[in-house]
Structure 1
C-alpha cells in the first residue's frame, strides 16, 4: 500500500484507493498499474467494499503516453496482459468496487472505471477513447468490458470519431449508474460503499464473481449456475439469520426512494 502514486486509507469496513498523480491528471504509468494491482491484492482483511477515486480535477486521463516506447509485437502483448492482470484484481478482487468519477475518464481511465462494479460520476466527468486518433488500440480490457456497458457500436463510434460523452449522456448510455453535482462523486460513492458493505459477504461474492459469468453463459448453463449459487448463498448462517429477522419483522423492508 506504500506507493507515492496511490493513497490508501480505511474507514471502518470501507477501503479508499486514490490515484495520486494529479499533475499528470492521474495518467497510468507502468508503476501505477502495478501499484493498483498490488493494492487490491494486499487489501486488509475485513474490507467489505472499496471506493476508487482520483486526486485533483480528474479521475484518470488514461495511459501515460510519455512512457510509450517502441515495442515489438511480443512486448506489446506482454504489456497489455500486465494491464489485464491488474484490472482483474479490481473486478474479481476482495470486495465490490465503487468508482468516484470526475473530470477526465479517458482511454485507460475508462478501462479502469469499467472494471469497477458501480460508477458514480459528478457533472464534470467526461468519457472518451482517443486511441483511434493516436494510431493505437485499447489494451487494458476495454474491448471486452466497455461493449458490455454500452454496446459494440457505441464503443466503435467513440474510437472511430473521437466522440466525447459528458456525464449526463454517459449515464444514459451506461458508462455510469449515478450522476451527482460537481464535487459530490466521492461522498456518494462512500454512501453506496457503506451500504454495500452491509450485505452478506457471500451475496456480494456472487454478484462479483458469478453474475458476470452467468451473463455470458448459454441460458441452460446460466440457469444451472444461478441455481447452484442461490443454493450456496441461502445456506449460509448469515443468510438464514437475515431471513429470520425479516420474517419476524426485525429486518429492513424495501421502501420507495
Structure 2
C-alpha cells in the first residue's frame, strides 16, 4: 500500500486498482475521483482486465459527507458553467470502457460505494459485505448514477425499499438481488476477483469489448433494434486471433470448458 488515494498495480494483463482512504472507510471525494480517473485510464492502456477493491476493512462507504456539507454551505465554489457530473464520467469509463472490471467487495458498500460497485461488470462479495443506500436518511439523493445503474441491477422496488428505509442487505441478500454473482468467506473477495479476472483475460480483447459495450446497449433497445445491433457486431470482420481460436476448436485442439468453475 502507498500514500496515494488510489493505488495501482499491474500484474501481467490485470490492473489492480485500490481505493486507499481506509481511515475514512474509502469515502469518495473529488480528489479520489480524480485519482480513480487517472488509474482507470492507465488500466485502459496497459491492461486487459481490471480489479477494483478497497484497502482496509471496507470497500467504500460512499460520498465524503464533510466535503458534501462544505459544498452545500457554499464553502466550495461551484463551477461557473454546468458540466457533466465527475462521478458519472469516471464510472462510465469503468462501465463502458475498453476492458472489463471485476469488483471485490467487503465491509461497507453503501451509497456512492454501491454506485461505483455496480459500474463493474462482475462483482464478488465476501461474507462481511453490507449493501445500502442511506441517502434518504442524510437528506440527499443518489448522484453517482445509481438511479440508472443500481435500479437496473436490483429493480425499482428493491432500490426504493433500500432508499426509503435505509435497510442494509447482507451478502446473501446481495446475491439474491444480483448485486453480486459470487459470495466467498471473509477476506477472500480480492483473491476470487483476481481469479475471475485471470479467466476473463484469456478471452480475446475484442470479444470482451463487445460483451461489456454491446450487451448493455441492446438491453436498452427494442426487440428489432437489439437484433439489428447484434447482427452488426457479429458480422464485423474478425481479427486473426478469432480465426485461430475457431480453428483450434474445429481441429479438436481447444481446451474443454470446465463445468462448475464458480
Which TM bucket (shorter chain)? over 0.9
Distance change >3 Å, CA 66–CA 176, structure 1 → 2: same
Instruction: Say whether residues 1:84 and 2:85 are aligned partners.
Output: no
- Among residues 101, 107, 115, which one is paired with 1:103 in the alignment? 107
- Once the two structures are superposed, residues 85-132 of structure 1 have per-residue CA deviations (whole angstroms, 9 ceiling, x without a partner) of 111111122310000000000000000001000000000000000001
Mapped contact 1:128–1:162 kept (Cα < 8 A):
yes
Q: Distance in 1 between matches of 2:158 and 2:44?
A: 38
Q: Which residue of 2 aligns with 1:216?
A: 220
Deviation at 1:71, TM superposition (A): 6.2
Helix, strand or coil at the partner of 2:18: strand
- Once the two structures are superposed, residues 60-81 of structure 1 have per-residue CA deviations (whole angstroms, 9 ceiling, x without a partner) of 0000101012268x95995871
Deviation at 1:35, TM superposition (A): 1.1
Q: Distance in 2 between matches of 1:170 and 1:64?
A: 24
Q: Distance in 2 between matches of 1:106 and 1:249?
A: 47
Q: Which residue of 2 aligns with 1:70?
A: 72
Instruction: Say whether residues 1:188 and 2:192 are aligned partners.
Output: yes
Q: Distance in 2 between matches of 1:12 and 1:250?
A: 25
Q: TM-score, normalised by structure 2?
A: 0.92
Q: Distance in 1 between matches of 2:3 and 2:221?
A: 39
- Once the two structures are superposed, residues 232-255 of structure 1 have per-residue CA deviations (whole angstroms, 9 ceiling, x without a partner) of 27x221111101101111112223
Distance change >3 Å, CA 139–CA 121, structure 1 → 2: same
Instruction: Say whether residues 1:252 and 2:258 are aligned partners.
Output: no
Aligned CA RMSD, in angstroms, stands at 2.0
Q: TM-score, normalised by structure 1?
A: 0.94
Helix, strand or coil at the partner of 1:43: helix
- Within 5 Å, which residues of 2 pair with 1:200-211? 200-211=204-215
- Among residues 162, 168, 173, which one is paired with 2:166 in the alignment? 162
Q: Distance in 1 between matches of 2:258 and 2:63?
A: 43
Mapped contact 1:3–1:35 kept (Cα < 8 A):
no
Q: Which residue of 2 aligns with 1:225?
A: 229
Q: Distance in 2 between matches of 1:192 and 1:78?
A: 39
Q: Specify every segment of 5 or more residues in structure 2 that has no aligned partner in the other structure, as ranges.
A: none
- Among residues 240, 247, 252, which one is paired with 2:243 in the alignment? 240
Q: Distance in 2 between matches of 1:17 and 1:193?
A: 13
Q: Distance in 1 between matches of 2:170 and 2:83?
A: 30
Report the count of equivalent residues: 254
Mapped contact 1:245–1:251 kept (Cα < 8 A):
yes
Q: Distance in 2 between matches of 1:142 and 1:114?
A: 8
Structure 1 ranges of 4+ moved more than 6 A: none
